[in-house]
């Protein structure tokens, strides 16, 4: 299909280009001795070049680095900037919000809650600062009201740095995910794992009767995109109900499927929805919504400290700034119309890539405004993980980067925002086609 030696030579060429183009970013990196790993957060070392490009400013679908290069941004902060960078309504809401964090509720919150209910069906909402924390607190609430100790996730899921979810599926069940940093307990004690799309395994694991909740993305998005097989999601709902297990849809990424994520697009019926990243236009936020029935059970828990130090909550959670930004984002930026436009663009992007990879055993999978290519056609997380190819990822990322297009590190994912244009998509198609041709001869 292609020659590895050729790939390595092309990758080296792109690395040299990258280093030559970005002297200021390189100098910034070399001078960052006060930071652990030289970056504000250690994952920023996951750059396809030998150092990260540094952000100067970003607006709409454009990012400029400190060397003065401008990029069409299909990474969009891996969903945090799905509303586009610095959208005007959010800038206005932030400017007008006097008092960011005061330990007092703001009236915006109930409007945001009502809008999230309209979109995601579950009726009662609470806020955090990250999707990770929304998930952590949802798991606690689920364990509390079911009196069950374990959770269940799908192999190669990612739900943030939630201790219980940093796992993979081994031959005899749950294993810590390779590289899991200092786990507080062996995750086999807290978590059951099965492959996505494997109903038999799901039923077997739920039948132990100790699973408080299934935490899932309705489509996997963190190991490429793996769509549910026909009938899988209704069967998950039926099995969880039958076994007294709550169902949590993590819509943090699958929000791309539409204004109410997969939950609304596919008419799903979860007990809890969690979300974060995009809903405040790039300002930190997370949220979890529960059904009336779950809310009634939570509020009836007299022994559960939901007010002080019971393990659910955070001082800046629900702060007036995040909430004002969420209101502006949901009311004015990530509207129903915006999703329709973004999805049309993602389809165009998908068609362009599909044409470029015709004849190769690769695939591209779209989920609304988000689309991702993969070097194979996996049916579950384990299969998809086995297709990972860092050199190929780096080659495509650097080829694009050196020619003005930003893709998502950790993924071959492209996300559309309301200010992405047809020309942006066509630029990617043209470059991607050229990169494939160079590689395959
Ligand atoms: N849920 C999903 C599905 C995610 O993909 C992520 C992050 N990629 C998270 C939760 C956690 O988000 P954060 O890191 O912003 O807390």
Q: What is the pLDDT of residues 181-226, one digit of tens each?
A: 999 999 999 999 999 999 999 999 999 999 999 999 999 999 999 9
| 190 token code pair | 């807290």
Q: How far apart are CA 289 and CA 342, in angstroms?
A: 25
Ligand 1 within 6 A of CB of 411 = no
pLDDT tens track for 22-46: 999 999 999 999 999 999 999 999 9
Residues sharing a CB contact under 8 Å with residue 367, sequence separation 6 or more, in sequence order: 219, 221, 225, 227, 254, 256, 257, 262
List the residue whose alpha carbon is closest to atom 11 of ligand 1.
160
Q: How confident is the model at residue 73 (pLDDT cuts 50, 70, 90)?
A: very high
Ligand 1 within 6 A of CB of 252 = yes
pLDDT score of 410? 87
Nearest atom in ligand 1 to the alpha carbon of residue 133 is 16
- The chain-wide mean pLDDT, for the chain, equals 97
pLDDT score of 213? 99
List the residue whose alpha carbon is closest to atom 7 of ligand 1.
160
User: What average pLDDT does the segment 52-67 reach?
Assistant: 98
Ligand 1 within 6 A of CB of 73 = no
Query: Distance, CA 193 to ligand 1 centroid (Å)?
Result: 18
Return the residue matching tokens 């999703």: 339
Q: How far apart are CA 270 and CA 302, in angstroms?
A: 25
pLDDT tens track for 233-260: 999 999 999 999 999 999 999 999 999 9
Nearest atom in ligand 1 to the alpha carbon of residue 254 is 3
Nearest atom in ligand 1 to the alpha carbon of residue 130 is 16
Which of the 8 DSSP states describes residue 229? P
Ligand 1 within 6 A of CB of 211 = no
Ligand 1 within 6 A of CB of 132 = yes
Nearest atom in ligand 1 to the alpha carbon of residue 160 is 11
Q: How confident is the model at residue 48 (pLDDT cuts 50, 70, 90)?
A: confident
Using a pLDDT cut of 70, give the percent of the chain over it: 100
Query: Distance, CA 276 to ligand 1 centroid (Å)?
Result: 7
Q: How far apart are CA 60 and CA 56, in angstroms?
A: 14
* Nearest C-alpha neighbor of 85 from the set 253, 282, 289: 282
List the residue whose alpha carbon is closest to atom 2 of ligand 1.
159
**pTM (two decimals):** 0.98
pLDDT score of 107? 98
Using a pLDDT cut of 90, give the percent of the chain over it: 97
Q: How far apart are CA 65 and CA 67, in angstroms?
A: 5
pLDDT score of 275? 98
Q: How confident is the model at residue 441 (pLDDT cuts 50, 70, 90)?
A: confident
Q: How far apart are CA 388 and CA 350, in angstroms?
A: 20
Ligand 1 within 6 A of CB of 276 = yes
Ligand 1 within 6 A of CB of 222 = yes
Query: Distance, CA 337 to ligand 1 centroid (Å)?
Result: 25
Q: What domains, with CATH codes, occur in the chain?
A: 4-82+336-440 (3.90.1150.10), 88-333 (3.40.640.10)
pLDDT score of 1? 85
Q: How confident is the model at residue 47 (pLDDT cuts 50, 70, 90)?
A: confident
pLDDT score of 291? 98
* Nearest C-alpha neighbor of 18 from the set 397, 433, 372: 397
Residues sharing a CB contact under 8 Å with residue 251, sequence separation 6 or more, in sequence order: 120, 217, 218, 261, 262, 263, 273, 274, 275
Q: How confident is the model at residue 400 (pLDDT cuts 50, 70, 90)?
A: very high
Whether residue 195 contacts residue 378, with contact meaning beta carbons closer than 8 Å, is answered with no
Among 67-71, 90-94, 406-410, 416-420, whose mean pLDDT is lowest?
A: 406-410
Strands 191-194 and 150-154, sheet pairing: parallel
Alpha-carbon separation of residue 365 from 373, 376, 390 (angstroms): 6, 11, 19
How large is the ipTM? 0.99
List the residue whose alpha carbon is closest to atom 12 of ligand 1.
131
> What's the length of the chain?
441
Query: Distance, CA 8 to ligand 1 centroid (Å)?
Result: 32
pLDDT score of 53? 97
Alpha-carbon separation of residue 8 from 4, 391, 394, 395 (angstroms): 6, 7, 10, 8
pLDDT tens track for 127-181: 999 999 999 999 999 999 999 999 999 999 999 999 999 999 999 999 999 999 9
């Amino acid at each position: 299909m292609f020659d590895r030696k050729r790939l390595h030579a092309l990758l080296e060429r792109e690395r040299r280009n990258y280093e030559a183009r970005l002297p200021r970013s390189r100098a910034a990196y070399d001078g960052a001795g006060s930071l652990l790993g030289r970056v504000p957060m250690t994952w920023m070392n996951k750059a396809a070049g030998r150092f990260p490009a540094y952000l100067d400013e970003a607006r709409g679908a454009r990012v400029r680095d400190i060397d003065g290069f401008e990029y069409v941004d299909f990474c969009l902060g891996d969903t945090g900037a799905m509303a586009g960078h610095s959208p005007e309504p959010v800038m206005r809401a932030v400017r007008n919000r006097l008092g960011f964090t005061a330990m007092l509720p703001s009236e915006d919150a109930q409007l945001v809650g009502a809008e999230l209910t309209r979109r995601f069906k579950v009726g009662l909402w609470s806020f955090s600062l990250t999707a990770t924390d929304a998930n952590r607190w949802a798991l606690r609430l689920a364990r509390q009201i079911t009196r069950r100790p374990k959770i269940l996730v799908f192999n190669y899921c990612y739900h943030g740095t939630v201790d219980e979810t940093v796992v993979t599926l081994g031959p005899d069940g749950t294993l810590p995910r390779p590289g899991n940093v200092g786990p507080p307990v062996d995750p086999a004690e807290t978590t059951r794992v099965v492959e996505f799309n494997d109903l038999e395994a799901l039923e077997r694991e739920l039948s132990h009767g100790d699973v408080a909740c299934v935490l899932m993305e309705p489509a996997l998005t963190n190991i490429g995109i793996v769509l549910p097989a026909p009938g899988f999601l209704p069967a998950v709902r039926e099995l969880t109900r039958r076994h007294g297990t709550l169902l949590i849809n993590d819509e943090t990424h699958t929000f791309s499927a539409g204004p109410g994520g997969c939950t609304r697009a596919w008419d799903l019926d979860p007990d809890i929805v969690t979300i974060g990243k995009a809903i405040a236009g790039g300002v930190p936020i997370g949220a979890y919504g529960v059904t009336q029935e779950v809310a009634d059970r939570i509020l009836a828990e007299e022994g559960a400290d939901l007010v002080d130090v019971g393990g659910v909550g955070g001082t800046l959670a629900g702060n007036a700034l995040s909430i004002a930004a969420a209101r502006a984002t949901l009311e004015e930026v990530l509207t129903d119309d915006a999703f329709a436009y973004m999805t049309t663009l993602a389809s165009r992007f998908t068609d362009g890539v599909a044409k470029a990879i015709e004849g190769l055993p690769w695939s591209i999978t779209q989920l609304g405004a988000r689309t991702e290519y993969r070097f194979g056609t996996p049916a579950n997380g384990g299969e998809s993980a086995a297709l990972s190819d860092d050199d190929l990822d780096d080659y495509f990322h650097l080829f694009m980067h050196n020619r003005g297009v930003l893709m998502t590190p950790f993924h071959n994912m492209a996300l559309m925002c309301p200010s992405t244009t047809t020309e942006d998509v066509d630029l990617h198609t043209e470059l991607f086609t050229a990169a494939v041709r160079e590689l395959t001869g």
